Chain A
């Protein structure tokens, strides 16, 4: 099936914009924010050049951006937007609404933290939205951002759930690299037009969408959402398999690198840091990498499967590029949950917070760090 596809050198943000075009997105309400801005600029430019048939609208805030996206998606139109940090925080209210209106919106969030002012790579923005009912994918490369957005629509529209594809500020958003941009026809064959169903606004069968629901009923809507979330991991894997048949690139909910019964240490990480870890692994044959691609819902099934082969003495080190007001970072909390009942020693490292660079040396320092009896997370390079 795999065909030779054109290789382009593009930035992560461009990849996101191109993905939106390839998905034949119809509406992009937008609001500028560093480091996301170039995504909407790219989209605007493609529309201006008539390379893309869509309507991009400059909104007055991210709250409005997400609200407009919600409205558009409810009519059945495929809708995309992108944001970062404060923008995502500001849209928090709407994220819940989108998820519980079950709207298959896909967005690209280019992560950055909050206060003090900072525009650099950090995942505290998206991770703090992990409970809004969205699926979250963390991409490692421009290619993965592009592919994840395409797969995102596939999964979102299947499950009626919104998808957030997260990329790292600058390390990915503004990094130009080789990207295999698929042909439109291939994308079309993978991702057909969005179906108009009884769940979309249709003049012929009018409905009231989202009015007041009394306590006796409310939990039923939650339960339906929960049921969809419960199968999201399987759907992600399934979507990845179908994707690889057409495009030749394989994706799962997680990726295990060098994890087997001999592995002594497993680094658990998201996004660009995982690439650097890959590079370091060559020097450390006993160290493996567990890349979390699907963060929400947390891929407990895949992790459990992978960890079956791992010896119980193997150390787990989670790398958190986020600070959430809790002792442990987000990745650590979730991993502990996934490993509940297993007795792997597990440690947490805060690395790269606020865009601090995480070079291979830092990875090595993490691998070589003597945690001893210390169960508290370590702030590396501080």
Chain B
């Protein structure tokens, strides 16, 4: 195709753009550059309207070898330049186009998408190019340099001159504008339409048909003007994940139940929790509250006390009598170990319609919750009531029965192993047999064994986890003087932060960056009476002399994100406790498998040891280590068992595991809309004397406080009908018709984005329009045959 400059005399160009896209400037610069390129007479002029950023504007260029003797607008252009394809549906950009004429459109779509009466269709993604060079704002990319480059190519002008003129005349960013023009010059695409061209006839004006009123006054609603096509970015209502929910290993929809509590609908809140967690009363007390760890309110005025709310809801629902679901399936399921994971899995499967029996080796169901959580953290009746609720829903629990999978294989189609980690790990130091196992100690206390022998004794507690803290606090209540020794710093302690704080408040001494090296013994005439630790007779005449420790120093961060530590040579020292209790980690009792089993085997198979029958491990055995993780693991195991039994598929189910990190971050929260409100802390029992006092330390919050606390929820990522988007929309483009009915009218939304920024909870996303605005994409008429050239 010949260049337009050679084909048409004079050459007439009409541009359609939006206020703010820089068309008027672009046409001025183009005229200058064309004039310089070939001694042309040029005219460049806008139709000066009420230019608003975004509103349609028109501009003209006339180019001739002879003086131009016409000062009127251009009605029969040879080239129409469309700076924003959205205009095509708003303005008749093709009006009067010369039958041999061309059109240049800024679009990221290909030319075939446009039904036009143009012989030649040129396309260029000028918006993309402009944004790439940082021209204009994201709401209004200034595409004029790109369009100048493309026009220069289409008409056959000089790129060199254009770039010189751009650099000389653009108000800012001359280099970037030059690059943008250059790139556009080279990438503009050409499509020649071979369909028959129907000439577009110019609409005549002034035919006098429409009359105006005597007094200049009018009242056609402004809604005739659809401003939706001004939009470059589109606000979209989109529910996002909340950190609390995402962080809950049990998978509880935390945000939802808090909202229900704030609406005083405690029953629904209890049901919401029950969907994932049958132990809200317990978790409300002893869970480390993963949900609170990333609460967006933390950095503002303190995270929401979700634990207290959960505890309240749990206690509220504990008297419920849930329905017993009918048995639907023939398959029978055994669960070995009545800890939180096993009981959760059992309840899920029972509710699904399976017959489930739980076998528990010890006297009572509850696992670690039963044996190892001290009474001052979890009163007995709470545990028994929540377990009772599970039983009420049809789960059979058989206690004092130690089973292994071999003996169950024949009777059951699926065996879930959730025996936990009941055996303590060893420190592997000399004379370790003089140490007492922390878990065993806690069990002893629970079963009221040997309570008096600790009175006035100095006890070394080794470890930094919850067990260590529980042991120390229990010792305190038995009248002992516990000292915690931990090999890293306080920051690295894996125990629940509040527990550590409470322990410190109770006056428990802690030494950090120190580790045991050896236990030293001495001959003694006293008989050690540690009957429960199976101490052999040979050492009965020997007694603990001292504990040899070594100072540690902080190393690099390890995989868990904690600082590692290593010993400092020559810093050994001794301490002289009366007893040593270790709490440094646990391992499973292999009896259940009938063979020694490497825990990695379990972990590597994601707990699945066999599919026929299904043998699936869950709870601490399969990873985790806290009650909530165990519950989550139980949920997953149940779902997986169901799928395996129903042969749906063998794919492990992924639920919220808190690792996706895909939740609303504090920077998406507009804190201006939340007023400062102090966190409601659980009241604490401050005892003068802890001796033999196992009453619950953390008191409960009362209903008004709980509702108040739930009202502190930021509703991260979930609309709570605050009205901000509606209130702040400058274009009245948002409608509201009662709860959760907000709707954006994209016919009018200009995409200013105020609603996005002013949404308190990050519920509104701002997304780039991709040339598919409402009612703008023209379909139907397409060129019959097309030749694509570049």
* Residue A160 lies at the interface, judged by CB distance under 8 Å to chain B: yes
Report Cα–Cα, A209/B212, bound state, in Å: 12
* Chain B min CB distance to A156 (Å): 13
* Residue B217 lies at the interface, judged by CB distance under 8 Å to chain A: yes
Tell me which of A160, A207, A219, A224 contacts B219 (CB under 8 A): A207
- Which candidate, A121-129, A210-218, A353-361, is the interface stretch facing chain B? A210-218
* Residue A154 lies at the interface, judged by CB distance under 8 Å to chain B: no
* Residue A199 lies at the interface, judged by CB distance under 8 Å to chain B: yes
Q: Report the nearest B residue to A200, measured CB to CB.
A: B215
Point out the residues of chain A lying under 8 angstroms from B218, CB to CB.
207-208, 211
Q: Report the nearest A residue to B219, measured CB to CB.
A: A207
Point out the residues of chain A lying under 8 angstroms from B205, CB to CB.
216
Tell me which of B50, B214, B219 contacts A212 (CB under 8 A): B50
Tell me which of B208, B212, B214 contacts A160 (CB under 8 A): B214
* Chain A min CB distance to B164 (Å): 36
B206, A216: Cβ atoms under 8 Å? yes
Point out the residues of chain A lying under 8 angstroms from B208, CB to CB.
220
Report Cα–Cα, A320/B215, bound state, in Å: 35
Report Cα–Cα, A80/B208, bound state, in Å: 35
B215, A209: Cβ atoms under 8 Å? yes
Point out the residues of chain A lying under 8 angstroms from B215, CB to CB.
74, 101-103, 160, 199-200, 209
* Chain B min CB distance to A235 (Å): 15
A224, B217: Cβ atoms under 8 Å? no
* Residue B213 lies at the interface, judged by CB distance under 8 Å to chain A: yes
* Residue B780 lies at the interface, judged by CB distance under 8 Å to chain A: no
Report Cα–Cα, A362/B214, bound state, in Å: 47
Chain B positions 191 through 207: 1 when the CB is less than 8 Å from some CB of chain A, otherwise 0: 00000000000000110
Which residues of A, 40-87, contact B by the 8 Å Cβ criterion? Answer: 74
Point out the residues of chain B lying under 8 angstroms from A103, CB to CB.
215
Which residues of A, 135-189, contact B by the 8 Å Cβ criterion? Answer: 160
A210, B214: Cβ atoms under 8 Å? no
Point out the residues of chain B lying under 8 angstroms from A224, CB to CB.
212, 214
Tell me which of B49, B211, B217 contacts A209 (CB under 8 A): B217
Take A212-B50, A216-B206 as given contacts and tell me if A100 and B216 are in contact as well, using a CB distance cutoff of 8 Å.
Answer: yes
Point out the residues of chain B lying under 8 angstroms from A217, CB to CB.
212
Point out the residues of chain A lying under 8 angstroms from B219, CB to CB.
205-208
Tell me which of B49, B206, B214 contacts A199 (CB under 8 A): B214
B214, A102: Cβ atoms under 8 Å? yes
Point out the residues of chain B lying under 8 angstroms from A211, CB to CB.
216, 218
Which residues of B, 215-233, contact A by the 8 Å Cβ criterion? Answer: 215-219
* Residue A221 lies at the interface, judged by CB distance under 8 Å to chain B: yes
Q: How many residues of chain B get a CB closer than 8 Å to chain A's CBs?
A: 14
Point out the residues of chain A lying under 8 angstroms from B50, CB to CB.
212
Point out the residues of chain B lying under 8 angstroms from A205, CB to CB.
219
Report Cα–Cα, A205/B217, bound state, in Å: 11
Chain A positions 269 through 280: 1 when the CB is less than 8 Å from some CB of chain B, otherwise 0: 000000000000
A199, B217: Cβ atoms under 8 Å? yes
Q: Report the nearest B residue to A219, measured CB to CB.
A: B206
Q: Report the nearest A residue to B222, measured CB to CB.
A: A208
* Chain B min CB distance to A282 (Å): 48
* Chain B min CB distance to A66 (Å): 17
Q: Report the nearest B residue to A210, measured CB to CB.
A: B216
Report Cα–Cα, A101/B218, bound state, in Å: 13
B216, A101: Cβ atoms under 8 Å? yes
Point out the residues of chain B lying under 8 angstroms from A219, CB to CB.
206
Q: How many residues of chain A get a CB closer than 8 Å to chain B's CBs?
A: 25
Q: Report the nearest A residue to B206, measured CB to CB.
A: A216
Point out the residues of chain B lying under 8 angstroms from A221, CB to CB.
212, 216
* Chain A min CB distance to B83 (Å): 21
Point out the residues of chain A lying under 8 angstroms from B212, CB to CB.
217, 220-221, 224
Report Cα–Cα, A103/B219, bound state, in Å: 19
Q: Report the nearest B residue to A74, measured CB to CB.
A: B215
Q: Report the nearest A residue to B208, measured CB to CB.
A: A220
B214, A208: Cβ atoms under 8 Å? no
* Chain B min CB distance to A117 (Å): 38
Report Cα–Cα, A210/B214, bound state, in Å: 11
Report Cα–Cα, A35/B205, bound state, in Å: 50
Report Cα–Cα, A205/B213, bound state, in Å: 14
* Chain B min CB distance to A26 (Å): 19
* Chain A min CB distance to B61 (Å): 20
Report Cα–Cα, A207/B213, bound state, in Å: 11
Report Cα–Cα, A198/B219, bound state, in Å: 12
* Chain B min CB distance to A83 (Å): 24
Which residues of A, 195-252, contact B by the 8 Å Cβ criterion? Answer: 198-200, 205-214, 216-217, 219-221, 224
B211, A220: Cβ atoms under 8 Å? yes
* Chain A min CB distance to B475 (Å): 82
* Chain B min CB distance to A214 (Å): 8
* Chain A min CB distance to B74 (Å): 15
Q: Report the nearest B residue to A159, measured CB to CB.
A: B214
Tell me which of B49, B206, B217 contacts A207 (CB under 8 A): B217
Point out the residues of chain B lying under 8 angstroms from A220, CB to CB.
208, 211-212
B206, A210: Cβ atoms under 8 Å? no
Q: Report the nearest B residue to A208, measured CB to CB.
A: B218
* Chain B min CB distance to A104 (Å): 11
Tell me which of B206, B211, B217 contacts A208 (CB under 8 A): B217
* Chain A min CB distance to B676 (Å): 44
Report Cα–Cα, A207/B206, bound state, in Å: 24
Of the listed residues B49, B205, B213, B214, the one surrounded by the most CB atoms of chain A closer than 10 A to its CB is B214
* Chain A min CB distance to B239 (Å): 40
* Chain A min CB distance to B222 (Å): 9
Point out the residues of chain B lying under 8 angstroms from A199, CB to CB.
213-215, 217
* Chain A min CB distance to B90 (Å): 16
Q: Report the nearest B residue to A100, measured CB to CB.
A: B216
Tell me which of B49, B211, B217 contacts A210 (CB under 8 A): B217
Report Cα–Cα, A211/B50, bound state, in Å: 12
Of the listed residues A206, A207, A211, A213, the one surrounded by the most CB atoms of chain B closer than 10 A to its CB is A207
* Chain B min CB distance to A203 (Å): 13
* Chain B min CB distance to A212 (Å): 6
Which residues of B, 36-57, contact A by the 8 Å Cβ criterion? Answer: 49-50
Q: Report the nearest B residue to A220, measured CB to CB.
A: B212
Q: Report the nearest A residue to B215, measured CB to CB.
A: A199
Chain B positions 313 through 352: 1 when the CB is less than 8 Å from some CB of chain A, otherwise 0: 0000000000000000000000000000000000000000
* Chain B min CB distance to A102 (Å): 5
Point out the residues of chain B lying under 8 angstroms from A160, CB to CB.
214-215
Report Cα–Cα, A209/B217, bound state, in Å: 4
Report Cα–Cα, A220/B216, bound state, in Å: 10
Chain B positions 605 through 628: 1 when the CB is less than 8 Å from some CB of chain A, otherwise 0: 000000000000000000000000
* Chain B min CB distance to A135 (Å): 16
Point out the residues of chain B lying under 8 angstroms from A198, CB to CB.
213
Report Cα–Cα, A71/B217, bound state, in Å: 14
Point out the residues of chain B lying under 8 angstroms from A216, CB to CB.
205-206
Of the listed residues B205, B214, B217, the one surrounded by the most CB atoms of chain A closer than 10 A to its CB is B217
Report Cα–Cα, A207/B217, bound state, in Å: 6
Point out the residues of chain B lying under 8 angstroms from A101, CB to CB.
215-216
Take A216-B205, A216-B206 as given contacts and tell me if A209 and B216 are in contact as well, using a CB distance cutoff of 8 Å.
Answer: yes
* Chain A min CB distance to B202 (Å): 13
For the complex with contacts A198-B213, A199-B217, 16 further pairs of A-B residues with Cβ separation under 8 Å are A74-B215, A100-B216, A160-B214, A199-B213, A199-B215, A200-B215, A208-B219, A209-B216, A210-B216, A210-B217, A211-B216, A213-B216, A217-B212, A219-B206, A221-B212, A221-B216
Binding site for B on A (CB under 8 A): 74, 100-103, 160, 198-200, 205-214, 216-217, 219-221, 224
Binding site for A on B (CB under 8 A): 49-50, 205-206, 208, 211-219
- The 6 A-B pairs at the shortest CB distance, nearest first, are namely A199-B215, A207-B217, A209-B217, A220-B212, A207-B219, A216-B205
| 26 A–B pairs (Cβ distance < 8 Å), ordered by A | A74-B215, A101-B215, A101-B216, A102-B215, A102-B216, A103-B215, A198-B213, A199-B213, A199-B214, A199-B215, A200-B215, A207-B217, A209-B215, A209-B216, A209-B217, A210-B216, A211-B218, A212-B50, A214-B49, A217-B212, A219-B206, A220-B211, A220-B212, A221-B212, A224-B212, A224-B214
